Amino acid sequence: MTTRLLLLFSLAATVLLSSPVLAEDVLPSWRAGAARDAILEFVEQVTDESGPHFVPPKERVATFDNDGTLWAEQPVYFQLFFTLDRVRAMAPEHPEWKTTQPFQSVLENDMDALMAGGEESLIPLLLATHTGMTTDEFSATVSDWLATAVHPVLQRPYTDLVYQPMLELLDYLRDHGFHTYITSGGGIEFMRPWVEAVYGIPPEQVIGSSLEMEYEVVDGKPVLRKLPELHFFDDKEGKPIAIQRFIGRRPIASFGNSDGDFQMLEWTAAGDGLRLAVYVHHTDADREWAYDRDSHIGRLDRGLNEAPGRGWIVVDMKRDWEVVFPFELEEK
């Protein structure tokens, strides 16, 4: 290549690559304030090659809780809505459910009776709807459900109920060389069919709870069958354990919304160098829901107490988010 050509190439590359991004252009659904500033400042510092806090791209791991952090979780976890819908859909093949609890309560739409037994009492529903089939069959069932199911309160498809500011944050972090992982208490196999399209998070970056599986060869064709036994519950202490097992690197940034995320944030924040630990606090009863210390879902108590003293960021959804759900943008 001639010197002249090289020069032109370099010029052209500069033009193509260096359109500057102003701080106002990024995270547009985040209102100016301490939370947004802390995030921008952190990303700037860990990506500044000449600064003291630089982190190489391969170590830029950010982990996100899902329920209540990336999408809504009220009035109950969406995976429970899936479970109830599946019980109704499968009921014709199980006439005995009409007179067997907890199935009977589901079929009679008696949510009070159903929830009275606590989370333990829901396990038979989970096993009936999440096990026995192959992983491929389950994945297809989840996709089919999401294509038609509607949230009973907000009357929207569930995948509409993701948080616009968090979608922008995921993109922003990835644009800055971060690897964005989900670390959810929900099921890995329940998330994988849709999180790549919705969040841009590929299957290999989804960590969550899981059931045991069995490898079986049926008519010469191998399948993986989901078994009625818990393999791993990815909550509380489970989150840093799963992060270590799946990723083998400590995140430099973590995002959660409940005490179930406390240990993940603690583990992240305790690493060497600059770290970012963020709680999303549900404070907006008008646009979403307002809940924390006493909530039956996504309880945030210890986290609220300790976040300030630990230097963790608490995002106040009502104060810090200009937009909550993506559909608000269309309505504007």
The residues of the shown chain that bind a second copy, judged by CB under 8 A, are 1, 5-6, 8-9, 11-13, 15-16, 58, 135, 179, 188, 192, 202-204, 206, 210, 213-215, 217, 221-222, 224, 231, 237, 240-241, 244-249, 263, 266-267, 270
Cα atoms in the Cβ-side hemisphere of radius 13 Å centred on 226: 22
- Pick between residue 36 and residue 60 the one whose CB is nearest to a second copy: 60
Smallest separation (angstroms) from a second copy to the CB of 176: 18
Of 154 and 247, nearer to a second copy (C-beta) is 247
What is the C-alpha separation between 254 and 235, in angstroms, rounded? Answer: 14
3-state secondary structure 237-306: CHHHHHHHHHCCCCCCEEEECCHHHHHHHHHHHCCCCCCEEEEEEEECCCCCCEECCCCCCCCCCHHHHH
Task: Compute the least distance from the CB of residue 75 to a second copy, in Å.
Answer: 29
Residue 98's SS3 state is: helix
Give whichever of 53 and 236 is closer to a second copy, judged by the CB atom: 236
Q: What residue ranges in the chain does DSSP mark as E strands?
A: 61-64, 179-187, 206-218, 221-232, 253-256, 276-283, 290-291, 313-316
Q: Quote the least distance from Cβ 289 to a second copy, whole Å.
A: 29
User: Smaller CB distance to a second copy: residue 189 or 288?
Assistant: 189
Please state the closest distance from residue 183 (CB atom) to a second copy, in A. 13
Minimum distance of a second copy from residue 55's CB (angstroms): 15
Q: Which residue has the tokens 């459910």?
A: 97
Of the two residues 224 and 274, which places its CB atom closer to a second copy in the complex? 224
- Pick the closest to residue 191 from 139, 144, 122 (CA basis): 139
Helix, strand, or coil (residue 212): strand
Which of 215/286 has CB closer to a second copy? 215
The residue (of 202 and 311) whose beta carbon lies closer to a second copy is: 202
Residue 88, token pair as written in the block: 């109704």
Nearest distance, CB of residue 140 and a second copy, angstroms = 14
In the complex with a second copy, which residue's Cβ is closer, 36 or 192? 192
**CB count, 10 Å around CB of 92?**
8
Inter-CA distances, 79 with 58, 74, 189, 253, 315, Å: 32, 11, 11, 26, 25
CB of 12 to a second copy, least distance (A): 4
Least CB distance to a second copy at residue 58 (A): 6
From the number of C-beta atoms within 10 Å of its C-beta (0-12, 13-18, 19+), residue 287 rates as middle
Q: What is the DSSP letter of 28?
A: T
| Alpha-carbon span 235 to 221, nearest angstrom | 35
